[in-house]
């Protein structure tokens, strides 16, 4: 894969642009309103700011709502092959927090379908009851500029997806006292050969058909 161009190469990032202060919330339409409410409350320890039979607002911090669910049981589900949002990602403060969340959710029968070290992040992907994909992740770099450099590295050019990991093995290594800096590296907790998740949603480039 060819390397991309950086913002500096494109003359961007002068610091004069007005940008949003934060990403406030995500709104999801669902025909499984009650089931989805329970799932999101469980995954994020979310509290309900407001709920009626049509809409619910959930939060896990000082924002009035981070996730909203719309009851659309009267509508048909979207097709599996579509153009639109692929997934939404949530960053945790440490690898310890991410793995503690993994362990807690596993105890409730909620497990990731894919665990992968992308290079800039260590990530676990989950599907909610509607099949929407959520990424729970932790940053592998303390410096955002160092993380951004990874996208222009030979390692990313050779493997833009990342390396799968075994979350149980990673958790065991963390508890045994291995340095977190080592555990955030690709290959720290390898999965058995042949059991890697097959990522099949990366579409071919436009015009390649």
**Is it the case that residue 192 has pLDDT exceeding 70?**
yes
Task: Determine the pLDDT at residue 201.
Answer: 59
Give the predicted TM-score (pTM) of the model: 0.86
User: How big is the chain, counted in residues?
Assistant: 209
As a three-state string, the secondary structure of the chain is: CCCCCCCCCCCCCCCCCCCCCCCCCEEEEECCHHHHHHHHHHHHCCEEEEECCCEEEEECCCCCCCEEEEECCCCCCCCCCCCCCCEEEEECCCHHHHHHHHHHHHHCCCCCCEEEECCCEEEEEEECCCCCEEEEEEECCCCHHHHHHHHHCHHHHHCCCCEECCHHHHHHHHHCCCCHHHHCCCCCCCCCCCCCCCCCCCCCCCCCC
Binning pLDDT at 50, 70 and 90, where does residue 1 land?
very low
How would you class 31 by CB atoms within 10 Å of its CB: exposed for 0-12, middle for 13-18, buried for 19 or more? middle
Task: Determine the pLDDT at residue 144.
Answer: 87
Binning pLDDT at 50, 70 and 90, where does residue 3 land?
low
Provide the β-strand partners of residue 134: 88, 126
Both tokens assigned to 180: 């977190």
For the chain, domains (ranges, CATH) are 24-76 (3.30.720.120), 86-193 (3.30.720.110)
**Is it the case that residue 21 has pLDDT exceeding 50?**
yes
The tens digit of pLDDT for each residue in 34-92 reads 999 999 999 999 999 999 989 999 999 999 999 999 999 888 776 666 677 889 999 99
Name which residue leads in pLDDT, 200 or 43: 43
Mean pLDDT of the region 154-176: 96
The tens digit of pLDDT for each residue in 100-159 reads 999 999 999 999 999 999 999 999 999 999 999 999 999 999 998 999 999 999 999 999
């Amino acid at each position: 894969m060819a390397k991309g161009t950086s913002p500096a190469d494109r003359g961007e990032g002068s610091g004069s642009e007005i940008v949003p202060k934060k990403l406030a919330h995500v709104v999801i339409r669902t025909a499984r309103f009650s089931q989805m409410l329970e799932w999101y409350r469980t995954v994020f320890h979310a509290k309900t700011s407001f709920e009626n039979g049509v809409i619910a607002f959930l939060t896990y911090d000082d924002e009035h709502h981070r996730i909203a669910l719309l009851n659309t049981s009267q509508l048909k589900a979207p097709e599996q092959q579509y153009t639109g949002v692929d997934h939404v990602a949530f960053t945790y403060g440490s690898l310890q927090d991410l793995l503690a969340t993994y362990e807690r959710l596993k105890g409730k029968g909620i497990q990731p379908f894919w665990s992968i070290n992308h290079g800039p992040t260590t990530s676990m992907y989950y599907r909610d009851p509607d099949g929407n994909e959520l990424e729970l992740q932790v940053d592998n770099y303390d410096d955002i500029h160092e993380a951004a450099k990874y996208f222009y590295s030979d390692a990313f050019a050779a493997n833009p997806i990342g390396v799968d990991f075994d979350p149980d093995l990673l958790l065991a290594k963390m508890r045994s006292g291995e340095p977190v800096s080592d555990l955030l590296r690709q290959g720290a907790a390898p999965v058995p050969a042949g059991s890697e998740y097959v990522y099949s949603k990366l579409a071919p480039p436009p015009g390649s058909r």
